[in-house]
Every structure is written in C-alpha cells, then in structure tokens.
Structure 1
Amino acid sequence: MTQTSDAILARMMALHPKIIDLTLDRVWRLLDRLGNPQNDLPPVIHIAGTNGKGSTQAMIRAGLEGAGKRVHAYTSPHLVRFHERIRLSGELISEAYLTEVLDECYAANDGAPITYFEITTVAALLAFARTPADYTLLEVGLGGRLDATNVIDTPDLTIITPVDLDHQQFLGDTLGDIAGEKAGILKRGVAGIIGPQKDAAMDVIEARAARVGAPLMAHGQHWHVTTEAGRLVFQDETGLLDLPLPALPGPHQIQNAGAVLSALRSLRFGEAACEAAMTNAEWPARMQRMRSGKLADLAPNAELWIDGGHNPAAGDAIAATLAGLPPRDTYVICGMLNTKDISGFLRPIADHAASLTALSIPGETATLPAETTAKAAEGVGIPSRTAPDIRTALQSISEASPDARILICGSLYFAGHVLRENG
C-alpha cells in the first residue's frame, strides 16, 4: 500500500518525546547519512527574526520571481496543508515527491530520536538540493543559532527582521538573549540585512556581527524607508527608489519592505525586481481579507479579516493596521496557545475592539481554554464572551451587527483551522 505524506508525518511525530529541543546534533547526523544535501543548495537567503519573517520571505520571492528567477522557499508552520512549507522552483511540492523525500529521511534516520521540525527540515533541504533553482529562501523556525535551518556554511545573504519577546521558554527572558539566538545565523563575510531593532537587540546583533566578521546593512544606518504621498520611498548608498506601497496590508509591512529592498539591492537586482516585490507578494493569514468561502458566507455584509500574529509586537502591528482602516465597529474572534503572552497581545488591540469572542483552538493540545482567553480580554478592557466554534461566533456577530468589521486572530494554528473551515 502506498504511504501518504500525512501517514509518514504522523510517524515522524513519534520519533522524539519533545516537540522542541534546540540542538543541531540530530540534524547533522541525518544530513550526513543523506550525503549532506545542505551543501548542494542553490544560493541561500536565510531569514530570522520574531515578526515579519514570512512576509519578508514572500516579498523577496515575489521580487526574485519578478526578475525571472526560479526560487525554492521553506517556511513554517503551515496553515492548511504541510505542502505549503516547501516550495520547489516556484511551485508547492507535489504529494508524490513530498512522500518520497519524507520516506527517504525516515528510513535514513533509522528510528533515532529527532524532532518533527528537524526531520521535515532535512526533507526540505533534500528536495531543494535535487531540484534546479536560482535561489533558496530559508525561514528560521525558532530562534536561529540552534534552528534546524542553520546548517548552511556560507549563505548568500542573511536577514534579521525585528526582534521582540516571544518563545522565552526556549530563547531566553530578555530581548538581548533572544537577539543573540537570532544573530546566530550571521556568518563570516556574509552581509546581514538588519530590520528596525530596539537598542538592546541591536547591541547584541552588532556584537555578534563583529565577532564573526559579518558586514551589516542596518535600518537607519545603511538604508532608510518611509512613505510619501501614497508611495514607498527607499534610500541606500546606491540611491533612491520610489515604489508602490506593499501589497501586504499594514504599516508594519513598510519596514519589512525596506529589508527586502536592501536585500534585493545587495544581490544587485534592479528596479523591476524591487517593484515586483512590492506589488506581487501574497502571504495568507497576515491581515488577509476573507472575501469568499463557507465561513465568509455566514457574515455576508461584514468586513472579515484574519491574522495569525500571536505576540505583543504582532498585537501592535494589528492595532496599527486597524487604526489605518476607515472607522467601523470591530469585533474580535480570538484563539490562542497557552505558551503566549495573551494580555500583551490583546492590550494594543483593546482600543479598537467593540468586543471579543474567545474560542479554544480545535485539535490543539496546547490551546488556551476559551474561558481563559475571555478573562484575559476582560482584564485589558475588552468586553468578552465565549463560543463553542467559529461558525457560531461568526453567526452571532453577524446577526447582532451585520455591517461589522470582524477580526479573527491569536495564532497561526487558529488561522489555519479557520482557513480549512472556510474551504
């Protein structure tokens, strides 16, 4: 009987008792057994940071593809199907090829302890090494220094998006600790593009760069980005770019766009690639407008948005995006994991929320109970209630306020559940 990728992935989940266990030893062992495919990748752009990694990757991919380049891309987590994590030369990996590389990695691992993320990352690297392309975009899963993607000796470029507090149980309690982990992707002689950072993070990143000999191209020093008259204006030592605003919504995308443009210019791409990066990027569940589907049909007159952000900096970004939209009563539907700072996430959103409906995330053992989410919302001043499921929540809001703005948020896992339900 032919194995499906889902069946192999389920087996892989049992290979290590911990979901997250940061070390590279198991990854190096498996890569060695497979002939070290990480050494045969098309030129690599490695992206770390707390927020904006996925959006930044999406814009760089759009820019490179706009210049006619074939691009591999690796991202996590997925929203609806695992295949979203691995894009081969512009296309999502096929079921047949995904099954093949997963099976090969599972066999080569021979039952040894290895985490799900580690073995699936190795499978992605194997697929990338065997498929021709011009560039490989690798998004860090967690941290950087000990992340399974950090096995490339000499990438073409590294990028660190804004660093903030998240995953403290794995990366450290302070901004400096976390920045140190992110800065672990910097490599000797490889330019590092650095997005806007708080001083505590920037100090650590600069110290690490000096120690390893990595030249930096930092926001506010080597490049600047702003908006003017509905356009994006970028400047570096090469000169000025006047471009359309990013297709990805929200004021926080301006700083991500700046890092993207700095990266493309460092790689010697011209204005056509830079414009494509702004206009052609798509990235689901990042202030995505849901205009159709089974769930959208339950609130036909509402303005429906979905965002997977889940930490205080993401709350700030969502709040800034809402502030830039035309005034409208905004009703929040929220599901979160119990590892997140829920009050820190919701506090910035409180000024824009008429109410919050809390849900537990179906199928997630680490979900925060709906009652706990509702209590936290009340604690930051948002009137709240619970609902048993997303359909009930949407119908309830739509019946009470048909023309509402509805924001679904709190977790990429919750966003993935909602997008699957929407069809």
Structure 2
Amino acid sequence: MTARSDVILDRMMALHPKIIDLTLDRVWRLLDALGNPQSDLPPVIHIAGTNGKGSTLAMIRAGLEGAGKRAHAYTSPHLARFHERIRLAGELITEEHLTAVLDECDAANDGIPITYFEITTCAAILAMARTPADYTLLEVGLGGRLDSTNVIDRPALTVITPVSYDHPQFLGETLPEIAREKAGILKPGVTCVVSRQHPDAMAVIDARAEEIGAPLLVQGRDWDAWEERGRFVYQDLRGLIDLPPPALIGAHQFQNAGAAIMALRHLGLGDDAAEAALRDATWPARMQRLRSGPLLDMAPRAEFWLDGGHNAACGETLAETLTRLPMRDTHLVCGMMNTKDVAGYMAPLEPHAASLTAVSIPGETNTLPAADTARHAAASGIPASTAESVEEAVRIITARDATARILICGSLYLAGRVLRDHG
C-alpha cells in the first residue's frame, strides 16, 4: 500500500522549475510563509564537504547521544524511505508527522515552482523546529553557499569535510571554485571544524574565513587524527586520546572521526561523547557488510558488501579500504549515474577487482547504461561484463566462484535499491 507521504512527495516533484538554478530565493519565500521556523531550531551544527559529510554527521550524532543529548538530524539522499532523511530527537520521523508537515508546506507554497529538495528541506526544518532537542545536525545537500540548508544566521558550529571534484555542472570545474561554494556555510564569529584539504581548497576556505571573521579549527594545524597499530589516536591542544578504531569501516573514517571529536570537544563534551562517536555510529551503504537477506540466501558462501560512493575520491577511498580486508577475490557489481566521473571512479579500483559486472540502476532516468559502465571499467583494465539486474550479476559471479567477495557499488541510488530489496 502506498503511504500518503509518498503521494504528497510525488505531487511535489511536479512543482520542480523547468531549469535547475542554485538559489535561496524560493526557500526564503516558503520559510517566510511558514513563519520562519529556521529561527526556532535548537542549536545547529551545519556540515558541508564533498566526501564524509554523512559519516561525520553520524559520529557527531552518536557522540551527542552518548553524552545524553537529544539531536535532530537532516540528511540526504535517503536509501529506502524518505523518512530516513529526518530524525527528530534521535528517532525517525513518523509517517503521520511527515505527512502533516509536507501538507503544510505544500499548502503554504501554493503551487509556485520550487525544487523537491527545497520544499522537503523546509518541511524538515518545520518538523525540527517544533520538536524539543538539544542540537540540530544539518547536512548540506549540494555545495553550501546556495544550498537549501544554508538559512541559519548563526549556527553553533560549522564543519567542512574533504572537498573534491563532484557536481561540476553546479559547483565549478576546479577545486577552488568548489571550495568557494562549500565555504559559503561559514558565518561571522562561528567556529568551523575543517578536515584536511588539498592546498588549493584550503587556501579558499582560509581566505573566506579571514574575510568574514570565522575562526577555523583545521586538521593538521589545530587537531589531528590517525590510525596507530589498529587504534584511533586523536590530538588537539587539550591533549591526546587513544581509543579503539571507529565502528565505521575504512581508513578515511579516522579522519571523519577526528572531525567529529573536534566538533564535540568544541561544544564542551568530554571523553564519553568521543567514545560513543566511534563506538555507536552507523551509516548505511558506506562499506556496509550485508549479513542477511535474499542475496545471502542465493549465495550463502559469498561475502557481500555495499557502498554508495560515486566520485573519483570515493573510488580511491574504496580501493584503500579493500587493501585492508583479508585476501579474497573481489568482484564488483556496479551501477552509476550518467552525471559522474566514471573513469575517475574506476581507475583506483583496477588493482583490487577480479571482475566488474555492470548493471543499470532500476527506476533512475539518469542511470548510466550498463554497457557504458562496462566499457569504462574495461578501459581501466577491469575485466567487465553486463547483467540485467543485481541478482543476475550475483548468479553469474557465484557460478564461477561460490565464495567470492561481492561488492555492490557505484551509486547511493543503487545502494538504496539493494537495501530495499535485500537489506
């Protein structure tokens, strides 16, 4: 049975402007019609960056909750259901509550063109403003400067995770251009935690911070985090912390955990919060091990992993993560969107992939055809073929190797489909 919220969300898609332009005008108009709920949010932690935003947010949230705080969270995109985007005081928004705020935003918008992300962001802000909590975590959807979440005059803290190439049609072709958009979340007098950046990106962030008077806490200058003998080590001016590694898998998660802990310490939270940030954070489809479901029933001796990373930096991160897993042939099942740097994503994976079976992403008009994904993989030196579905790809792979490691990757949209069908 179709949920009523799905019906409203489908109707909102029809309001989309004919041309996508990054602007805050439509958001400000609707928020004003709603009574400016952004002014009533609990203290906001605003997070931008190209990679690691979601994982960093998840660790900050785990740390806040470990310290006994209640936190709202707004993230995107969702994987299985829209409700995943909105957490109210730690709990996913209910169908009844979601339907109510969507209806209210739809009525206040009165049929005027507005993007899906803009109107649903307003709905999330409305729901969070009306629910008591100690903090609000806002993840930027695209860029920062003109993103729909950038409507908070004075957040409690901002965070910029690593900046790399993505969405060039909106953010620019060069790292300085992209960094300029990310740095748009900086606010006068508001501290920003900054993960380690390429020097070209850091120069832009530094310049913007100096221009408006935003204090920075920069990895490598004010704090750092690294792996040492399998442990997580963090250091800032207050001292050193030595803890077990993050629950989220991958070397890049040490950097994300460091940003989360710097954020928590800046907010005045202690070791309990730091320990919880590492121990309790969960973030689906980021090198997630699948341990049950229909895919495991199809191939019980295979090892299944799921990752939604989709740009060149994610390919590098994924490749590095694979080097840390026990030796085993890794077979990729890959589907990508046609807006991504497919060659850049594939290149670092070549030494680690025994094969790649390409699929088109079901239900996505912007999916890259499986044949094109396979062509890019082959050009990168990965033995490649195509399949009609993830299930067919698994059958093909396990017919050759029943104990294969199978990594489903290339897109959060593909990851969401897999979690809906097999999670």
Same fold (TM over 0.5): yes
The alpha carbon displacement at 1:58 in A equals: 0.4
Q: Distance in 2 between matches of 1:329 and 1:126?
A: 48
TM-score (norm 2): 0.99
What corresponds to 2:153 in structure 1?
153
Partner deviation per Cα, 1:383-423 (whole Å, 9 max, x = no partner):
10000011111111112101111110000001001111104
Q: How does 1:1-150 map to 2 (within 5 A)?
A: 4-18=4-18, 20-150=20-150
What corresponds to 1:408 in structure 2?
408
**Ranges of 4+ aligned residues in structure 1 off by more than 2 Å:** 17-21
The alpha carbon displacement at 1:378 in A equals: 0.3
What corresponds to 2:162 in structure 1?
162
The one-letter code matched in structure 2 to 1:105 is C
What corresponds to 2:197 in structure 1?
197
What corresponds to 2:311 in structure 1?
311
Q: How does 1:317-336 map to 2 (within 5 A)?
A: 317-336=317-336
Q: Distance in 1 between matches of 2:297 and 2:149?
A: 40
Change in Cα spacing, 1:298 to 1:94, as seen in structure 2 (3 Å) is same
Q: Distance in 2 between matches of 1:333 and 1:227?
A: 30
What corresponds to 2:233 in structure 1?
233
The one-letter code matched in structure 2 to 1:179 is A
Deviates more, 1:19-28 or 1:140-149: 19-28
Q: Distance in 1 between matches of 2:228 and 2:339?
A: 39
Q: How does 1:243-262 map to 2 (within 5 A)?
A: 243-262=243-262
The one-letter code matched in structure 1 to 2:308 is G
Q: Distance in 2 between matches of 1:43 and 1:389?
A: 44
The one-letter code matched in structure 2 to 1:22 is L
The alpha carbon displacement at 1:3 in A equals: 7.5
The alpha carbon displacement at 1:229 in A equals: 2.3
Q: How does 1:286-305 map to 2 (within 5 A)?
A: 286-305=286-305
What corresponds to 1:360 in structure 2?
360
The one-letter code matched in structure 1 to 2:68 is G
Deviates more, 1:18-27 or 1:228-237: 18-27
Counting aligned pairs with the same residue, the percent is 68
What corresponds to 2:397 in structure 1?
397
Q: Distance in 1 between matches of 2:14 and 2:175?
A: 33
Change in Cα spacing, 1:19 to 1:41, as seen in structure 2 (3 Å) is farther
Q: Distance in 2 between matches of 1:101 and 1:149?
A: 17
Partner deviation per Cα, 1:17-54 (whole Å, 9 max, x = no partner):
35842100000000000000000000000000000000
The one-letter code matched in structure 2 to 1:180 is R
SS at match of 2:304: strand
TM-score (norm 1): 0.99
The alpha carbon displacement at 1:228 in A equals: 1.6
What corresponds to 1:174 in structure 2?
174
Partner deviation per Cα, 1:95-138 (whole Å, 9 max, x = no partner):
00000000000000000110000000000000000000000000
Q: Distance in 2 between matches of 1:42 and 1:271?
A: 23
Partner deviation per Cα, 1:249-272 (whole Å, 9 max, x = no partner):
000101101101110110011001
Unaligned runs of 5+ in 2: none
Unaligned runs of 5+ in 1: none
For the pair 1:377 / 2:386, whether they are aligned, the reply is no
SS at match of 1:15: coil
Check the 8 A contact 1:79/1:419 in 2, yes or no.
yes
